[in-house]
Amino acid sequence: MPLPIGHSLAGYLTYLGVERDVTFRRWKIILLYLFCANLPDLDILPGFLMGLPNRYHHGISHSLGFAILAGMLVILYKRWRGHGHLLRSLSITSGLYFTHVLLDCLIVDTSFPYGVQLLWPLSSQYVISPVLLFPTVYKANTSGAFLGSLFQFGNLKLIGVELLYFLPLVGAAHLILRRRRERP
């Protein structure tokens, strides 16, 4: 996984690209985008509770099938609450989720099986990009050491790379939006 910083910036970029009214006053909407952009990594929780946080990480939770499932759950919730724009909600939620999965295909993976189950349920094969853009994330295999391991020095490199990729894109998106607003 890129760290939550990278996934959150990707979610924020999606927010800037998709929403018409993009102000920080809509912080609850922004938080929803960031939540969906990080959602697949909740697969760490069940393993974490069992003492092995990586046990289910990058399995079927990181797949096209789960991306669609997440969108369907949002649709069910919105229908229950009587809200509209269901197709839009489906595409945004599933899009954010699947973008996370695709980003995870681009990171150096040092533990077998490499990559994620990208196309599950169509295929159970693990997929990793032939071109890797992110250095590996250092994380412990036991719950006791897991959270502390995320703060080790090696992960600073990954944070730096994530900021290097995403901050210029966020800056450019803000610039484009500002110019668009100022256009007569």
Q: Which is nearer to Zn ion, 2 or 71 (CB)?
A: 2
Q: Which of residues 148-177 bind Zn ion (CB under 5 A)?
A: none
Contact segment (CB under 5 A) with Zn ion among 37-45, 82-90, 122-130, 135-143 equals 37-45
- For the bound state, the minimum distance from the C-beta of residue 43 to Zn ion, rounded and expressed in Å, comes to 8
Q: Which is nearer to Zn ion, 15 or 38 (CB)?
A: 38
Contact flag: residue 104 with Zn ion (CB under 5 A): yes
Give the span between the Cα atoms of 168 and 43, in whole angstroms: 30
* Closest listed residue to residue 162, CA positions, set 84, 81, 103, 82: 103
Place of tokens 């669609």: 68
Contact flag: residue 109 with Zn ion (CB under 5 A): no
- For the bound state, the minimum distance from the C-beta of residue 101 to Zn ion, rounded and expressed in Å, comes to 7
Contact flag: residue 96 with Zn ion (CB under 5 A): no
Phi-psi region of 75 (alpha: psi -120 to 50; beta: other; left: phi over 0): alpha
Contact flag: residue 43 with Zn ion (CB under 5 A): no
- For the bound state, the minimum distance from the C-beta of residue 62 to Zn ion, rounded and expressed in Å, comes to 6
Contact (Cβ atoms closer than 8 angstroms) between residue 107 and residue 137 = yes
Give the span between the Cα atoms of 17 and 34, in whole angstroms: 14
- For the bound state, the minimum distance from the C-beta of residue 58 to Zn ion, rounded and expressed in Å, comes to 7
Which of 8, 11, 15, 41 contacts Zn ion by CB under 5 A? Answer: 41
- For the bound state, the minimum distance from the C-beta of residue 138 to Zn ion, rounded and expressed in Å, comes to 15
What residue number has its CB nearest to Zn ion?
1
Burial class (CB in 10 A: 0-12, 13-18, 19+), 60: middle
Helix (H, G, I), strand (E, B) or coil at 127: strand
Contact flag: residue 1 with Zn ion (CB under 5 A): yes
C-alpha distances (whole Å) from 21 to each of 29, 31, 181 are 11, 15, 11
Residues in contact with 88: Cβ distance below 8 Å, sequence separation at least 6, in sequence order: none
Q: Which is nearer to Zn ion, 46 or 177 (CB)?
A: 46
* Residues at the site binding Zn ion, with contacts judged by CB under 5 A: 1, 40-41, 104
